[in-house]
Chain A
């Protein structure tokens, strides 16, 4: 695929910095720096290695639908459970999880954190390869 700006595509040199986070998760108090996963009920601390925008459980990768258009705006009143749907890759090779809200169907993308469950991530990456008929058809097309 042609790249319009090869210097920018290389190693993410011109990528905009991560958005500054100015919203708190809770109202303060003893739960201000933690949340409980809506799927596996794991108590998760908000401080994560590798990202300042932790939005999913590191064990089961499930998230919750709280943001509307801008990540971190907390403007959605859906509050549905978001299941991990797919893995996407940035041009520099970083993995992103695509979530889909189970109650309204909205999609969201979040970077993986350093303590995310590696087995769950690899299982999701291998999901398209489970059915080998399509891979075989692709080989025949070569």
Chain B
């Protein structure tokens, strides 16, 4: 990031690996973005097992929504090349429809009849 945030030539951006959207690296509240707000895809740049920068650079698809004890949501990503997992916080301008679709996705195809739980 530049020292002067008003200098338009030095605003940090990245291009989404899935939908091609050009996204500013800093979100509206100043937090650092790690996924595209439109399609929630990310890029594998950090090696979480060994630490440091990853050489994979693969695309990471969102696979799950995790809810922390504080009630904040996190998106769990999986790298399509090397299957590594990361979790990152949800930004306020993320696509709410995709977030909600991922959150209710398990309930669409339950592995057991959910009616059985009604008798509990």
B is a partner of A = yes
Cross-chain contact of B103 among A93, A94, A129 (Cβ < 8 A): A129
Instruction: Please tell me if A100 contacts chain B, counting CB pairs below 8 Å.
Output: yes
Docked complex Cα distance between A142 and B61 (Å): 23
Do B76 and A107 have beta carbons less than 8 Å apart?
A: yes
Instruction: Please tell me if B11 contacts chain A, counting CB pairs below 8 Å.
Output: no
Which residues on B sit within 8 Å (CB–CB) of A119? 117, 120
Do B117 and A107 have beta carbons less than 8 Å apart?
A: no
Considering only CB atoms and an 8 Å cut-off, how many residues of chain B contact the other chain? 35
0/1 interface trace, chain B 76-91, chain A, CB 8 Å (1 if under): 1010000011110000
Interface of A is mostly: mixed
> What's the least CB distance linking A1 to chain B, in Å?
8
0/1 interface trace, chain B 56-67, chain A, CB 8 Å (1 if under): 000000011111
0/1 interface trace, chain B 90-120, chain A, CB 8 Å (1 if under): 0000001101100111111111101011001
Do B64 and A98 have beta carbons less than 8 Å apart?
A: yes
Docked complex Cα distance between A106 and B120 (Å): 34
Interface of B is mostly: mixed
Docked complex Cα distance between A94 and B112 (Å): 11
Instruction: Please tell me if B53 contacts chain A, counting CB pairs below 8 Å.
Output: no
Cross-chain contact of B67 among A95, A122, A128 (Cβ < 8 A): A128
Which residues on B sit within 8 Å (CB–CB) of A108? 85
Instruction: Please tell me if A30 contacts chain B, counting CB pairs below 8 Å.
Output: no
Which residues on A sit within 8 Å (CB–CB) of B48? 105-107
A-B contact count (CB 8 A): 90
Given A86-B67, A88-B64, A107-B87, verify A138-B76 contact (CB < 8 Å): no
> What's the least CB distance linking A125 to chain B, in Å?
4
Which residues on B sit within 8 Å (CB–CB) of A88? 63-64, 76, 106
Given A98-B66, A128-B65, A138-B97, verify A89-B109 contact (CB < 8 Å): yes
Cross-chain contact of A86 among B76, B86, B114 (Cβ < 8 A): B76
> What's the least CB distance linking A129 to chain B, in Å?
7
Beyond A119-B120, A141-B97, 18 additional contacts (C-beta under 8 Å) are: A69-B49, A86-B64, A86-B65, A88-B63, A88-B64, A89-B105, A93-B111, A98-B76, A107-B48, A107-B86, A108-B85, A118-B112, A125-B106, A125-B110, A128-B73, A129-B104, A135-B100, A142-B97
